[in-house]
């Protein structure tokens, strides 16, 4: 094997926590994305930051790429070892290192999943709000700058990571930020590493901002005749200062898929789902005001719930949506698009996308985080049918081009990975070269997740 | 003059908007800081981004430093031309370029002050919340990652700048971010430039997040026997999820200064001042709950106001504080410290600082943004008295060391500038070298604000 000396050195650090087994390599060669499998040459299971630093140092010495691995839920192939090398699996670095309830801060390892973290937080009265849907690892969520349904109220990973420990490409270990709520002390390295997709270093520890579990939660849902009225209602709600904890949009195609999947009977119309967090009186007042606003915009079927079981019923439309959509066309694979536009352009972006989809040979239900201007079309294609594959790629490309034309971004929360690399020049212009200069400065040998993020040689 | 060829080239771009007049140079040689004056060699008054790019290109060709200038309100000497060169004064680039009310976004030029911006926003129902006290320029606030009294609710400049246009050290113009609310498309260059203090490029345009003007505002003040009880009350309020718009602490020395300055008669005790923004019912509920919490922590003299004139009276203690403190000891100069610690360490940090001050030969009232763990001691020294100067420097150094020991930062909102450069190794360790590598990658010739931020040769 060409990598034998490197593997011997890695084995001296990790023992049998360096795996070369075929099933292990294959399991780390694909994620929840539509890209062809590309297994790494080895999988490392470090247990400490020092071990991660040793692994990176050895890989750098031997010219082996290093790719981080969290929960394998990436939708853009971030963790695929497209140039081979060592996959660093953080499943053995998945603990809560420190819980600081007074500071509303937790120091965690990157492998912990968001559900496991919130389970550990349950008794504290605190929670970590970022919710991308999948039970992703916190390290992976930081790497992709993930967000999800609660970003409209609680922000994205950008807003909820206070500090990091990072192993750099040369094996140095740095700490960025602190448990203080803010700082003006120099370049914001925390923000630089959040969203860097493992291309500048491996995150080995995160200090997260926690939030108080809401005393009361209320949820509501309602239907609209079209997307324009729904977006106008949301815009007005935001401008009124009503603090929505979630505000989600699903189109009629999504509702039909959910009805079939969950034996529900929601009207086949675009819907909004909203959630409020606060005091009982505050939540009730917000729900009432929201009801007034949406009814002025022609909403029908307004239903409100503050008991957990009723909320669950109302939100089943959203929670089941992804699986319901996949089940609507068995045997297909999904390309999940992820554009984000200024709110003023959202209705136009959705309407034009729906017109594209109507003219395409594949179905593509739409759902999204309407308070952020971020929406997804789930492009359901038969991967063995070249025409469907081409149609999906065409829809995806047209959505990305449209998002940029409307002043938005090709990815609101899924990241660049393999899937969006081709849009970096269009989105950033010479700013992409600045990213390349930073990559060159911090990882000149291109050890960290090569083939991603920056211009390729 | 050694710079004649450079000045001739600059004059060909700017005409008489290149100033070499002595009063102009002197006016740009000092700011609201205690550092010795260091006038630039010339002051440029560009009117367009293209002109800024030309100025930077010419300076780079001739090895002349470039230093940005906003409103001159920096407290750490950021804009001082310590190695000479051209001061780029943005007072002629101070407009609102675009107002997007539906998107709750404004695109502005860097020279506009926050008061001028909010004046322009008045009729829209929106406002820009970041309030550092001084009427700083928006560009300067971005450069220092400023915050102030409202950060506990609305965030800092890090949270409220969505996009930038930047002129790089080689004259290239880039755009970072967009008017979309979030993005996962690559390294977060917006966050990198916010807080970079003009050392990586000059910001020529900013897209800002706006917020709805609150329907109702309520304010309250109360006194405590000591800092511990006040901090505990604030911590509990935050954990309860009460959304305070401002929560400020002043110590007894500050209250005494305000009483003397404004002929007021607040009890000479530590005080908290809080403000709530929301619906009338929401604000009333929050005020009531806050009143209950502080009374459980022994607060006295709880006073509540929701009419503007009563709010103004309550807040006079905070608004007058800085000037009242300066007036308390005429003829002195102030060093304004700016540490920020995790909330759990705030009471200890303030108590130890007060003990230091009690043992020092100079007065130093304390006030701060208690919801963020950020506080300032205003060190009042006679600059001509070496003993007082040494005492002030010693207090400042002890505060910074203590903040780091308690897991915080040497600057919560004022920035590094000249004053905190000596703490960068202690705060960031090898992370400071990463900042240096980024500086080297983007400004290898050290054109942009040299002598600041990174390790000096």
Per-residue pLDDT tens listing for chain B (457 residues) = 667 899 999 999 999 999 999 999 999 998 777 788 999 999 999 999 999 999 999 999 999 999 999 999 999 999 999 999 999 999 999 999 999 999 999 999 999 999 999 999 999 999 999 999 999 999 999 999 999 999 999 999 999 999 999 999 999 999 999 999 999 999 999 999 999 999 999 999 999 999 999 999 999 999 999 888 998 999 899 888 888 999 999 999 999 999 999 888 899 999 999 999 999 999 999 999 999 999 999 999 999 988 888 888 888 778 889 899 999 998 888 999 999 999 999 999 999 999 999 999 999 999 999 999 999 999 999 989 999 999 999 999 999 999 999 999 999 999 999 999 999 999 999 999 999 999 999 999 999 999 999 998 7
Q: Least CB-CB distance to A178: which of B175, B289, B409? A: B409
Interatomic CA distance for residues B212 and A231, integer angstroms: 17
Q: Is A263 exposed, middle or buried (0-12, 13-18, 19+ CB in 10 A)?
A: exposed
pLDDT attached to residue A1: 59
Interatomic CA distance for residues B20 and B6, integer angstroms: 12
Both A83 and A104 in one domain: the answer is: no
Torsion of CA A11, A16, A22, A26, to 10 degrees: -90
Grouping H, G, I as helix, E, B as strand and the rest as coil, residue B276 is: strand
Pick A43 or A35 by higher pLDDT: A43
- The pLDDT confidence band at residue A432, using thresholds 50, 70 and 90, is very high
Establish if A453 belongs to a structural domain. Answer: no
Both B200 and B266 in one domain: the answer is: no
Establish if B430 belongs to a structural domain. Answer: no
- Per the DSSP assignment, residues forming a β-bridge with A206 are A108, A164
pLDDT attached to residue B190: 98
Contacts of A240 in chain B (CB under 8 A): 212, 215
The answer to whether A362 and A333 are in contact (CB under 8 A) is: no
Structure tokens given for B214? 């609150």
Both A220 and A319 in one domain: the answer is: yes
Nearest CA in chain B to A181: B372
Residues of the domain holding A413: 329-419
The answer to whether A126 and A79 are in contact (CB under 8 A) is: no
Structure tokens given for A32? 């929840």
Q: What percent of chain A has pLDDT over 70?
A: 99
Separation of CA A16 from chain center: 32
Mean of the per-residue pLDDT values for chain A?
95
Establish if A386 belongs to a structural domain. Answer: yes
Both B315 and B354 in one domain: the answer is: no
Interatomic CA distance for residues A70 and A94, integer angstroms: 9
- Count Cβ neighbours within 10 Å for each residue of B330-344 and write b for 16 or more, e otherwise: eebbbbbbbbbbbbb
Mean pLDDT on A152-176: 98
Establish if A433 belongs to a structural domain. Answer: no
Alpha-helix runs per DSSP H in A297-405: 308-319, 321-327, 346-358, 386-405
Q: Which helix (H) or strand (E) holds A168?
A: strand A161-168
Nearest to residue B196, comparing CAs of A7, A377, A434, A46? A434
- CATH code of residue B252: 3.30.70.3450
Q: Least CB-CB distance to A145: which of B180, B184, B435? A: B184
* pLDDT at A200 > cutoff 90: yes
Establish if A447 belongs to a structural domain. Answer: no
* pLDDT at A33 > cutoff 80: no
For chain B, how long is the longest CA-to-CA vector?
70
Grouping H, G, I as helix, E, B as strand and the rest as coil, residue B100 is: strand
Both B358 and B376 in one domain: the answer is: yes
pLDDT attached to residue B1: 60
Contacts of B424 in chain A (CB under 8 A): 185-186
Using the 3D structure, point to which of A64, A91, A118 is the last residue of a domain. Answer: A91
Q: Please state, in angstroms and as integers, the Cα–Cα distance from residue A388 to each residue in A52, A323, A324, A359, A423, following that order.
A: 42, 20, 20, 13, 22
Establish if A444 belongs to a structural domain. Answer: no
Both A271 and A371 in one domain: the answer is: no
Mean pLDDT on A17-41: 91
Both A366 and A285 in one domain: the answer is: no
- CATH code of residue A406: 3.30.70.2740
Both A104 and A182 in one domain: the answer is: yes
Using the 3D structure, point to which of B91, B115, B136 is the last residue of a domain. Answer: B91
* pLDDT at A34 > cutoff 80: no
The answer to whether B49 and B165 are in contact (CB under 8 A) is: yes
| Pairing outcome for strands A271-278 and B201-209 | unpaired
Both A352 and A370 in one domain: the answer is: yes
Number of domains forming the structure of chain B:
4
* pLDDT at A374 > cutoff 80: yes
Gap from B103 CA to chain A (nearest CA, Å): 5
- CATH code of residue A68: 3.30.43.10
Both A277 and A312 in one domain: the answer is: yes
- The pLDDT confidence band at residue A35, using thresholds 50, 70 and 90, is confident
Structure tokens given for B22? 């002595």
* pLDDT at A376 > cutoff 80: yes
Q: Phi and psi at residue B174, in whole multiples of 5°?
A: -120, 160
Nearest CA in chain A to B238: A212
Contacts of B344 in chain A (CB under 8 A): 100, 102-103
pLDDT attached to residue B109: 98
Grouping H, G, I as helix, E, B as strand and the rest as coil, residue B262 is: helix
Establish if A452 belongs to a structural domain. Answer: no
Phi-psi region of A415 (alpha: psi -120 to 50; beta: other; left: phi over 0): left
Q: Phi and psi at residue A134, in whole multiples of 5°?
A: -60, 155
Establish if A456 belongs to a structural domain. Answer: no
Q: Least CB-CB distance to B441: which of A105, A183, A437? A: A437
Gap from B271 CA to chain A (nearest CA, Å): 21
Model-level ipTM above the cut of 0.90: yes
Both B171 and B222 in one domain: the answer is: no
Using the 3D structure, point to which of A34, A56, A91 is the last residue of a domain. Answer: A91
Contacts of B371 in chain A (CB under 8 A): 181
- The pLDDT confidence band at residue A36, using thresholds 50, 70 and 90, is confident
Q: Which of B141, B186, B347 to mutate to test the interface with A (most CBs of A within 10 A)?
A: B186
Gap from B152 CA to chain A (nearest CA, Å): 9
Mean pLDDT on A87-92: 98
Both A297 and A381 in one domain: the answer is: no
Contacts of A410 in chain B (CB under 8 A): 185
- The pLDDT confidence band at residue A31, using thresholds 50, 70 and 90, is confident
Gap from A210 CA to chain B (nearest CA, Å): 10
Query: For residue range A301-356, what is the model confidence (pLDDT) as tens digits?
Result: 999 988 888 888 888 778 889 899 999 998 888 999 999 999 999 999 999 999 99
Interatomic CA distance for residues B53 and B48, integer angstroms: 9
Query: For residue range B317-359, what is the model confidence (pLDDT) as tens digits?
Result: 788 898 999 999 988 889 999 999 999 999 999 999 999 999 9
């Amino acid at each position: 094997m060409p990598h034998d000396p490197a593997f011997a050195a890695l084995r001296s650090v990790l023992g049998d926590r360096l795996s070369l087994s075929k099933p292990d390599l294959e399991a780390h060669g694909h994620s929840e994305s539509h890209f062809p499998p590309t297994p790494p040459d080895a999988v490392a299971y470090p247990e400490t930051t020092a071990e991660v630093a040793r692994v990176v140092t050895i890989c750098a010495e031997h010219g082996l790429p290093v790719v981080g691995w969290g929960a394998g839920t990436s939708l853009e192939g971030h963790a695929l070892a497209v140039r081979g090398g060592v996959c660093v699996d953080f499943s053995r670095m998945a603990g809560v290192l420190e819980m600081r309830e007074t500071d509303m801060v937790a120091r965690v390892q990157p492998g912990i999943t968001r559900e496991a973290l919130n389970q550990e937080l349950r008794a504290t009265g605190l929670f970590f709000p970022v919710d991308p849907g999948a039970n992703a690892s916190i390290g992976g969520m930081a790497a992709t700058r993930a967000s999800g349904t609660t970003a409209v109220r609680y922000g994205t990973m950008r807003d909820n990571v206070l500090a990091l420990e990072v192993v750099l490409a040369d094996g140095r270990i740095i700490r960025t930020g602190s448990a203080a709520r803010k700082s003006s002390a120099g370049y914001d390295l925390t923000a630089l590493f959040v969203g860097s997709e493992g291309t500048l270093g491996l995150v080995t520890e995160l200090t997260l901002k926690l939030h108080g579990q809401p005393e009361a939660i209320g949820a509501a849902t309602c239907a609209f005749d079209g997307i324009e009225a729904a977006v106008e209602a949301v815009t007005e709600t935001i401008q009124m200062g009503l603090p929505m904890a979630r505000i989600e949009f699903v189109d009629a195609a999504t509702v039909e898929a959910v009805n079939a999947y969950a034996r529900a009977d929601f009207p086949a119309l675009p819907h909004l789902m909203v959630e409020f967090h606060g005091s009982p009186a505050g939540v009730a007042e917000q729900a009432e005001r929201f009801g007034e606003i949406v009814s002025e915009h022609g909403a029908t079927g307004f239903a409100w719930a503050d008991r957990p079981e009723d909320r669950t019923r109302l939100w089943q439309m959203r929670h089941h949506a992804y699986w319901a959509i996949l089940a609507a066309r068995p045997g297909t694979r999904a390309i999940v698009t992820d554009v984000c536009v200024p709110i003023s352009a959202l209705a136009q972006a959705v309407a034009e996308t729906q017109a594209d989809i109507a003219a395409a040979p594949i179905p593509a239900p739409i759902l999204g985080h309407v308070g952020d201007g971020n929406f997804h079309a789930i492009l359901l294609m038969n991967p063995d049918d070249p025409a469907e594959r081409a149609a999906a790629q065409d829809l995806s490309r047209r959505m990305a081009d449209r998002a940029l034309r409307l002043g938005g971004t090709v990815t609101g929360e899924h990241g660049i990975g393999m899937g969006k690399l081709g849009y970096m020049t269009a989105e950033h212009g010479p700013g992409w070269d600045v990213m390349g200069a930073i990559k060159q400065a911090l990882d000149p040998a291109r050890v960290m997740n090569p083939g991603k993020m920056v211009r390729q040689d």
